[in-house]
Structure 1
């Protein structure tokens, strides 16, 4: 069924394109529609990527997400309707033991007034009905009650609806400005999360880069010696430790910085990545021959000229290596901020 057009209830001719079942590839587009046109405040880019990756995993067969979308002519999403399933105790109102909540119905402003939202929501409800999922709840935003009632929703007889948003925010209020100063542990939950790494560039006597072939990462097949920082480590300490573990080489310093590297989060990794590349110097034939690899991480050492590395590496990895080599040549540290996750 993945990606197929859903022919459910007939639409009035000329008012809406047919809805289709969303696939994991639509997840980030759904999140972006929700962020821009449903939420009071748009999500930061890091959270859009994280939420999109989470939703993609829930839209796979067997997952607990169901969504229907309408495509715009330019290939983006014109509209979407998303529901999330949850288990309930079986009873006459929910005989299959699953219920759902409509999480998002959104349409891009360029495509409103054409029936797209109704088409997506109708297809979604028909899909849930075919799976025996009931009841289906929705919290209608202000001004949208009539839209949901037109799709068959009815008001709830429950006397109240209470929402627990999580631990209360307790902070110090500045009497002059009214600004709320959060305790450090609560403020830390609001800021961008990132992982750090440190690595080392070695070359041979002819200034050809030395790289290790990774056994665990098809995304980054050829790597500099280095890795992720452990808690409490400083970048140079990480470089020394990782170099020793991966090659057997003991760095003696002092640290010579070649580049600062930054990458945005993506489907492969939910956090930003920041790291430092240090100069490990030139290795003669004897020292190259003494390299001892950890077979759990690398299975080959290779020394090639920079042009020879190009066809063996993803473009962004080669661009990073080129920037590091230029920094070695000029003595001016590089700033490389496009080493993004899932960019290719």
Structure 2
């Protein structure tokens, strides 16, 4: 793609379309439009999710991203225009010390030739002007020059750019198939990244779930005993350690698996999450009363029946608790793969 640096000039009046400021909820849709219709090579799904989570945070109040979008009748995004703000030294051309570069303008093919891209871009430029962000620049291909000029951009100076080249692939080539087998360290960089956790289900003698109230997470207010695996730990070792740290209870095993849990990355966490839930057994009233909480993590122990837990928990957390309880009841381990981050 050829590059141009274009600076804004007063735009001519034109036909208005229903462009609106983007919110963090629009982030993944913007990333998908950019991936499919702007980039020379579309992003893999893992990178779309990671990029969407990053953009959502940057579109939130105080972030450095600005975008305007046009909605399609089906609720998806028909078109978008995205800019990223960066600091510059103040001078007459940029008195506020902030400049912006248009990162993407894209329209889904189903909604092209309706003026949506021009509407989104013009609304974006108006928003940046209102915030006194100047100059506004863009990398523009030949096919998009007319759109940018119609929205008020001018100039044609092409900037020089440095991009660090990818390290050369030094792998073993299979003489029969031609497949390149990467060195271990290079292949490791291409695979999915994930964090692991291990939890315990405790109930009282009436089989009512025991949960702890977290002081650090509004998203997951009520939690099973457990946490993230430390490097070098096996899942059961994590469960035993976390149980000791969070409740003072010492477990000896043997481990009994109740559920395998998986979650896709999202706005709350940039990696996939995989974990195991073990059966911690039944606690009597005295054992529950003797639980010692770490005030840095939890401030309350509560015992409720499963229906009583539902209004206190996000739907995905309650669904996970229900699956774990069913596994305890039936003796058949559960597979729960919908514990995604930031989808509710």
Superposed pair shares fold, TM > 0.5: yes
Alpha-carbon distance, 1:41 to partner: 3.5
Query: How far has the Cα of 1:95 moved from its partner?
Result: 4.7
Q: 1:239 to 1:275 in 2, by over 3 A?
A: same
User: Which deviates more from structure 2 when the two are superposed, residues 26-35 or residues 58-67?
Assistant: 58-67
Q: Which residue does the alignment assign to 2:162? A: 163
CA distance in 1, matches of 2:18, 2:310: 45
Please list the CA deviations of residues 292-328 of structure 1 after superposition, one character each: whole Å capped at 9, or x if unmatched. 2212222222222222322322222221111111111
- Matches of 2:298 and 2:96 in 1, distance apart? 50
Q: When the two structures are aligned, how many residues end up with a matched partner?
A: 332
Q: Write the mapping of 1:325-344 to structure 2, written as runs, cut at 5 A.
A: 325-344=325-344
Instruction: Sort the Cα spacing of 1:71 and 1:213 in 2 relative to 1 into closer, same or farther, 3 A.
Output: same
* Residues 76-108 of structure 1 deviation map (CA, whole Å, 9 limit, x = unaligned): 321111111223344555454433221100001
Change in 2 beyond 3 A, CA 1:135/1:233 = same
What is the Cα-based RMSD across aligned positions, in Å?
Answer: 2.5
Q: Give, in whole Å, the separation in 2 of the partners of 1:34 and 1:339.
A: 27
- Structure with more contact order per residue of length (Cα contacts < 8 Å, sep ≥ 6): 2
Match in the other structure for 1:11: 14
Aligned to 2:49: 49
User: Is 43-52 or 317-326 further displaced after alignment?
Assistant: 43-52
Aligned positions of 1:1-344 closer than 5 A: 9-12=12-15, 17-91=17-91, 93-141=93-141, 143-151=143-151, 152-156=153-157, 161-165=160-164, 167-172=166-171, 174=173, 176=175, 177-344=177-344
Question: 2:179 and 2:93 mapped to 1: Cα distance?
Answer: 48
Whether the 8 Å CA contact 2:50–2:270 is kept in 1: the answer is yes
| C-alpha contact 1:9 1:122 (8 A) present in aligned 2 | no
Distance 1:305 1:98 in 2: 55
Tell me the CA shift for residue 69 of structure 1.
Answer: 1.8
- List alignment gaps of at least 5 residues for structure 2: 1-10
Residue by residue over 1:9-39, the C-alpha shift from the partner in whole angstroms, topping out at 9 and shown as x without a partner, is 5324xxx614233333332221121122222
Q: Aligned equivalents of 1:196 and 1:105: distance in 2? A: 38
How many angstroms apart in 2 are the aligned matches of 1:66 and 1:310?
37
**Which runs of 5 or more structure 1 residues have no equivalent in the other structure?**
1-7
Decide whether the 8 Å contact of 2:12 with 2:150 is kept in 1: no
Give yes or no for contact 2:81–2:102 (8 Å, CA) kept in 1.
Answer: yes
Which residue does 1:5 correspond to in 2? Answer: none
**How far does residue 132 in structure 1 lie from its aligned partner after superposition?**
4.5
Which string of whole-angstrom CA distances, capped at 9 and with x for unpartnered residues, describes residues 105-159 of structure 1? Answer: 000111101111112222323433454444433222353334334443332266x
TM-score by length of 1: 0.86
1:3 is matched with none
Question: Distance in 1 between the 2:339 and 2:264 partners?
Answer: 7
Distance 1:302 1:157 in 2: 64
SS in 1 for 2:202: strand
Match of 2:5 in 1: none
User: Scaled by the length of structure 2, what TM-score is found?
Assistant: 0.86
Deviation at 1:258, TM superposition (A): 0.8
Q: Which whole-Å CA distance do the structure 1 matches of 2:161 and 2:216 have between them?
A: 47
